[in-house]
Amino acid sequence: MYFCTLHYAMNVKLKLLLPVLFLLFCNACKPEKTVRIIPVADFFKSLDKSLYSISPDGKKLSFVQVQGKKQNLFVEDLATGTTEQITKFEEKNIKYYFWVSNEELIYYKEKAGAERFSDIFIIDRNGDNERQLSNNGRSRMRVLKEKLIDEKYLLVSSNRRDSSVFDVYRLNVRNGKMDMAARNPGNIIDWFTDSKGNLRLATSSDGVNQTLWYREKENQPFKAVVTNNFKSTFKPLSISEQNPNIVYAISDVNRDKCALVEIDCNKGKESKVLFSNDTLNVVDAQYSSSKKKFSFVICETWKKEKFYLDSNAKKLYSKLDQLLPGTESRIIDRDIAENLYVVRTFTDRNPGSYYLYDVKKQNVRKLSDFNPVIKESEMNEMKPVTFKARDGLKIQGYLTLPQHRNPVNLPVVVLPHNGPGNRNIWEYNAEVKFLANRGYAVFQMNYRGSSGYGKNFMAAGFKQWGGKIQEDIHDGVKWLINEGVANPSKIAIYGTGFGGYIALNSLYSSPGMYVCGGSNSGVINLFSYLKSIPPFLTPNLQMYYEIIGNPVTEVDYMRQASPVFHADKIQVPVFIAQNPQDPRSNSGEAIQFVKELKKRNVEVTYLEKEYSEFSPQGEDVRQKLYTALEHFLSNNLSGK
């Protein structure tokens, strides 16, 4: 898109531009401005203060603060300004927390040695009365409604009865007793409550089809409302308070792009479309429980945009835009009365800050910077680009160029995003900025199968991991070479998770295109990936078979598409990072893969990560990972 505009401008305004061009040419004669190499540590710092939250009554502000190796929960009294530390941990392991009443908070603490397993604790806002709520080491527990009912009950889902299904329990936080609120017949995958905490909505799945279940009152049985194929998006948001039997949902049933709709649960049909557009994909909607209506929907094209459904909300947010000009803002949290908001700002060049927005006083207070050492002037833009794949499908992506460099013949790092069902978004992305700062053009693309471009685009990527998705990446890189931006002999590909999978796959399916490739926690074997789906997700297995491939009936395709079988076809240097503790990966396979590459004298950089870089302890891992990646890329992309 950017290049088309540039080209157009040059044609039309050529005469006007000539003197300018001359000047530009003179500028080009001068040596390029040197770009300061920003240390890896600066890019991948952990936040000092994060996870801001406001108590329901709007009187307290809580946050998690890192002090050296410690990470603790703090509560600030907004009236007096005094801050109190309420947990006393020596390590970093608070993953998440929230207020359940004006007096109590619940936090998830990472279980030692077991990634993705957390213990749940409740604590008074002054740090007293800390109690562990989850007690069974084997089962998982999730809080369904982040609010205490009758000041003592918490609605949680847990698979303590059967590891593959989640039942709903009413957990008495005073004595830790759990009463089953709803027994899962075996296929329910999600539960929803209304604003009062009544369990009235559920979704079930047989693996391929998803059914919405509804009941008017808690003592009634659930009734099937509507059944949809998993290829359609149907995301219930909330149960209407004033209109009976109405459920709000984001749905693309019978349309390509998602819309915000009302479902009449008695009729089992869409009764009203609140927001819909043929080109815009609704990704989220903000419901105001105080005003009892939707404030806005968020649509995402190349970036997220708000579309207001309520004029009052529009006023509120335009005031916020006035107070925080030139930046994107997202609401992180708010109180019940909707007078106080925690706002997070950012642009593609600025990691942004946290603010506290007081609606009544019409002012903002800066809470902290996301990453104060990053200067906006040293960051380059993330430009949306579009190209056509060989079958004519329009693929969108982003290109971030290194600073102060002519966009000609640059070394490129292709950065396929993780998947399935993910996408690249327009944001400040430290990984992208880091690579751009090292002098590489960073090319991200939303290959088919990415979310956000409608259900057809999503479905086009099913079972195409070794096929059309790979072609999209190939075509994108070809396009970038034809545009003159990429130096065809200096292209690397790197990704995390399925991005790493795509990177490794590209090394053998597009031989000669990349000088090196890297995979971080990458999937290297689709069989193992499917095997690693935890038992509580087994109802979804059929769905995974549709998206990834069926290991029983499509062994050949799965084999062809799995890099682990093709170590003998990879000729260029490979970077592999993985966490052997990661239950989703089979670390032995990666090691066997590395061994085979080494036996063939392929240069391999292998990095073993102690933790996931996204865990609370991940800062060191991030530093190590990106330092190693920097060396790997500079060894293979410079020179030649």
Partner 1 sequence: MHSEHYSGYRKNFSLILIFIVLISVLFILSLFLAYNFSKKFIENEFVSEKVKVLEESIKPYNEFFQNKVPEISYYNGYLDSATTAKFVDTILKTYPFVSKVVFYDLEVNNGPVRDGLNTGQFSLGPKLVYQFGDLVPMDSVKLFSRDETKKFNHRDDFNALGIKLISYVENLDTTKVPAQDELFTNFSNIRSNKITYLNIPRFEDLKIYKEMLRNKLHPSPVYQQDMLSFHMDPYKIRIINSRPLLYQNIRIEPLTYDPLNTSSEYIATEIALPGPFSDYKLYFISAKSFVDKEIRSYFIPISLVMLLFYSLLVLVAYLIFRNLNINHRMFKLQYDFVNNLTHEFKTPVSVIKIAGNNIKSAASLTERELKMYGKILDEEADKLNGLMNKLLAFTQIENNAIELNKDIVNMEDFIESTIESHTLKHPDFNVTYEVSGFSTFITDPVLLGSLFDNLAENAYKYSRPELKRLHITARLIKGKIVLRFTDQGIGIPAPEINHIFKKFYRIQNQYNQNGSVGLGLAFCKELVNYMSGEISVKSKVNKGTEFKIVLPYNN
| Site for partner 1, rule CB under 8 A | 162, 164, 525, 527-528, 530-532, 535, 551-552, 555-556, 558-559, 562, 564-565, 580-581, 583, 586-589, 591-592, 595-596, 599
Which CB atom, from 162 or from 305, has the smaller least distance to partner 1?
A: 162
In angstroms, give the least distance from the CB of 190 to partner 1.
20
Q: How far is the CB of 454 from partner 1 (least distance, A)?
A: 32
Q: Are 261 and 251 in contact (CB under 8 A)?
A: yes
Tokens 């020596």 belong to 90
Helix (H, G, I), strand (E, B) or coil at 106: strand
Judged by beta carbon, residue 427 or residue 554, the one nearer partner 1 is 554
**Closer CB to partner 1, 29 or 552, in the complex:** 552
Amino acid, res. 226: V
Q: Where are the alpha helices (DSSP H) in 483-525?
A: 498-509
Query: Are 207 and 542 in contact, with CB atoms under 8 Å apart?
Result: yes
Structure tokens of 616? 């609370």
- The residue type at 465: W
Kindly state the smallest distance separating residue 114's Cβ from partner 1, in Å.
11
Shortest separation between residue 469's beta carbon and partner 1, angstroms = 21
What single string gives the DSSP state of each residue in 560-613? HH-GGGGGGG--S-EEEEE-TT-TTS-HHHHHHHHHHHHHTT--EEEEE-SS-T
CB 356 within 8 A of CB 433: no
Residue 404 class from Cβ within 10 Å (0-12 exposed, 13-18 middle, 19+ buried)?
Answer: exposed
Q: How far apart are CA 412 and CA 414, in angstroms?
A: 6
Name residues whose C-beta falls within 8 Å of residue 605's C-beta, 6 or more positions apart in sequence: 518, 573, 574, 575, 576, 628, 631, 632
* Pick 243 or 542: Cβ nearer partner 1: 542
What is the spatial distance between Cα 503 and Cα 489, in angstroms, rounded to a whole number?
17
Q: Please, which residue, 52 or 593, has the CB nearer to partner 1?
A: 593
- Which one, 2 or 565, has the nearer CB to partner 1? 565
Minimum CB separation of residue 609 from partner 1 in Å reads 14
**Least gap, CB of 531 to partner 1 (angstroms):** 5
Cα dihedral value 538, 544, 546, 547, nearest 10: 170
CB of 396 or CB of 528, closer to partner 1: 528
Closer by beta carbon to partner 1, 423 or else 609: 609
State which residue, 65 or 532, has the beta carbon closest to partner 1: 532
What is the smallest separation between the CB atom of 165 and partner 1, expressed in angstroms?
9
Least separation in angstroms between CB 626 and partner 1: 25
How many other CB atoms are there within 10 angstroms of residue 128's CB atom? 8
Give me the long-range contacts of 330-335 (CB less than 8 A, separation at least 24). 331/286, 332/52, 332/53, 333/52, 333/53, 333/54, 334/54, 335/54, 335/55, 335/56, 335/57, 335/58
Q: Rounded to the nearest whole angstrom, what is the least distance from the CB of residue 574 to partner 1 in the complex?
A: 16
